[in-house]
Structure 1
């Protein structure tokens, strides 16, 4: 059974931005189905609710994991660099710091905008105004509840090729009222996902083991220690789970439980298939049973293992080789009614999407359930067509996005006198 800790540092370093991009593309998977079911306005409202549920919780977790105990803009920006909402380069945030409590950022490239602009100004406004305003603040308050993130300019772009795509100021004033924690995030903080204990970081290892010190313009993950990269990967997988729970809650506020579960499963299927293909390429894997088991074990929609308890193992040899996927009946993820609860003997599409992304002939799935959980046997069969949920997600430019090596990152230093 493969885990993040079994991967070497260079492979983990490549995996981190992939997991961030996967998390960002969850909404490309889910929102299309929301628009079809409820329309654009409800889609935007759900987008707000899912992110303000999850973001304050997972940001606080990453702060704890990486020793980010400050309350200024630098620590806030460090958290944003490790957020599934801001995968490097695809969402190319460029930060500036004036002093401890004042700074800003612009998006040199916004992959989300590139995806949405063809849909028209109404959709751009929904994303860049209605969703961004409350969700940026929800992220900021995990560092300082007196923080405010406000636009200097943002899309719809006028002129159409305006660059950078948007620009924002960040201010923290000591005499300003604190923003309240969103009720959804308070509820989320009580979930098993919010409280699960993940792998510890060994401070004696070679490489960066925390993010104290200077804010860096880019994060070069090859500089980080093995255990830090393992923990970051686990936290990013958990960010997926928290966002998915928030999505299900928000949808459930607008429809019955069965319909909400169906939309959650469609969201899961789409991102499961798209991410599986990218993971296989990122890790340099083949199409054999061992590669499939590895993708399943490392896939963020099925992890982290401490939370989901899901295992994938190769079985057999030669032409009889296959994979056994085990989803336990009892886990934190099942208790939270998260993504693993969407998979049962009658609903195997999320697993099929992953298997088919490794190779289309991994199409023969057989499931059995008992009191201890669900067992899914995956074997070879006729190559099938890509599932519609995956094809919908693939419209994003993130589906084919390639990360570049930007070399040694520069430190971002304050440009003005501290007002602290």
Structure 2
């Protein structure tokens, strides 16, 4: 069962880039609060740790789902195309494959860099050197343990408008000694999110059911079947949760205020994501629209992981959260909410209608419920949402790039 089954194929194709981009923006919310709590060095360490433990897990999941086989650089690049770390166009990865063991990628547009450059060269170095070196390798190693990702050039940019913004080689060399497995990797690899079973893609469904063919310059989601798009959407939502799990593990190791930081991270990305989903689906701001956005919000998906229930009336929406679910067991976003901590849900609702307010209405042994209704006047935007809106990704618009070209060397 998937919440995305309710959508037609064209709508799902439009939604997939949104889910990938919103996953990328999780760090625009979370890292701001880590800077406040731990300073720039501590923030950098958290970013490294969360991506190192999360990206190999969800890369392997997506490869299995879409029958992405092999262990060459083209397979590594396919994984990047379906990674919240590299959402299409906003992080405009371009690829060149020389052979099984050699390739390059570069970024013609890096939204993350454009967000960070105004903060100064120290933050640019932290992102483009300190974070990228171990995390690019971690993602590549999920496909081949002998893969290495190394810079050709990278920011700080000289000259200031240098394009491409960065460029990297990927080399597979059997003499390469893989780095040690990062601490806490097993916690994430054995999480409910990592081990969740989802329905297989129906190969008889109209459209492309896998990505077993050649590497393409861009993924055109319209070419995939509805069954494939539903599975991809659920997998991308799991990427959100796995990254958040890595984030919370890293934060908990540094402070006893991890739940508070996690809720702030959740609130910031929850509001921006609701806004983007509403716009992408061209919805109104009434309770029916809110119910639709909530049902599709990555915080509440996949349904077998969260167990969330959304119901609506003419003037309100009810959210039922179970006490027993994979998401609660993992301690990710749904586990951070209770009757005394509703700010993330408020931010989520106000991304659809700024007049939304939330109150807890019922609780029992199996779960608890909150009701969302409308006040007479709009509420002021939450600080956490305003911080996340700093990213140019909050207002980024995708473009139709036409038919992609195959890149794999034959």
Determine the C-alpha separation between the residues in 1 that align with 2:139 and 2:341.
Answer: 34
Determine the C-alpha separation between the residues in 2 that align with 1:248 and 1:131.
Answer: 17
Q: Deviations over 1:114-166 (max 9, x none)?
A: 00000000000000000000100110011001000000000000111111000
* Large movers: runs of 4+ above 6 Å: none
Structure 1 residues not aligned, in runs of 5+: 416-420
How many angstroms does 1:285 deviate by? 1.1
Is it true that 1:328 corresponds to 2:327 in the alignment?
no
Say which SS state the counterpart of residue 239 (structure 1) adopts: helix
How many angstroms does 1:237 deviate by? 0.3
Among residues 334, 338, 342, which one is paired with 1:340 in the alignment? 334
1:241 match: 241
Is it true that 1:147 corresponds to 2:150 in the alignment?
no
Cα 1:199–1:244 shift into 2, 3 Å: same
Determine the C-alpha separation between the residues in 2 that align with 1:313 and 1:219.
Answer: 35
Say which SS state the counterpart of residue 232 (structure 2) adopts: helix
Determine the C-alpha separation between the residues in 2 that align with 1:36 and 1:349.
Answer: 19
Among residues 294, 297, 306, which one is paired with 1:296 in the alignment? 294
CA contact (8 A) 1:141 1:179 kept: no
Among residues 354, 359, 362, which one is paired with 1:365 in the alignment? 359
How many angstroms does 1:179 deviate by? 3.8
CA contact (8 A) 2:272 2:389 kept: yes
2:278 match: 280
Among residues 372, 378, 383, which one is paired with 1:383 in the alignment? 378
TM-score, normalized by length of structure 2? 0.98
**Which stretch of the first structure deviates more once superposed, 79-88 or 358-367?**
358-367
Q: Deviations over 1:286-329 (max 9, x none)?
A: 111111011111100221111011121112x3xxx211101100
Say which SS state the counterpart of residue 67 (structure 2) adopts: coil
How many angstroms does 1:185 deviate by? 2.2
CA contact (8 A) 1:368 1:375 kept: yes
Determine the C-alpha separation between the residues in 1 that align with 2:60 and 2:183.
Answer: 16
CA contact (8 A) 1:24 1:87 kept: yes
Determine the C-alpha separation between the residues in 2 that align with 1:386 and 1:339.
Answer: 20
CA contact (8 A) 1:311 1:327 kept: yes
Q: Deviations over 1:240-282 (max 9, x none)?
A: 00011111100111111xx001001100000000010000000
CA contact (8 A) 1:125 1:155 kept: yes
Determine the C-alpha separation between the residues in 1 that align with 2:351 and 2:20.
Answer: 19
Determine the C-alpha separation between the residues in 1 that align with 2:360 and 2:98.
Answer: 59
CA contact (8 A) 1:352 1:365 kept: no
Cα 1:323–1:42 shift into 2, 3 Å: same
How many angstroms does 1:213 deviate by? 1.3
How many angstroms does 1:369 deviate by? 2.3
Structure 2 residues not aligned, in runs of 5+: none
Say which SS state the counterpart of residue 168 (structure 1) adopts: strand
CA contact (8 A) 2:146 2:177 kept: yes
**Which stretch of the first structure deviates more once superposed, 231-240 or 368-377?**
368-377
CA contact (8 A) 1:145 1:180 kept: no
2:69 match: 69
**Which stretch of the first structure deviates more once superposed, 198-207 or 6-15?**
198-207
How many angstroms does 1:184 deviate by? 2.5
Determine the C-alpha separation between the residues in 2 that align with 1:249 and 1:145.
Answer: 24
How many angstroms does 1:2 deviate by? 8.3
For 1:137-286, list aligned pairs within 5 A: 137-256=137-256, 259-286=257-284
**Which stretch of the first structure deviates more once superposed, 389-398 or 180-189?**
180-189
Determine the C-alpha separation between the residues in 2 that align with 1:374 and 1:394.
Answer: 30
Determine the C-alpha separation between the residues in 2 that align with 1:2 and 1:127.
Answer: 35
Q: Deviations over 1:52-88 (max 9, x none)?
A: 1100100010010010120001111000000000000
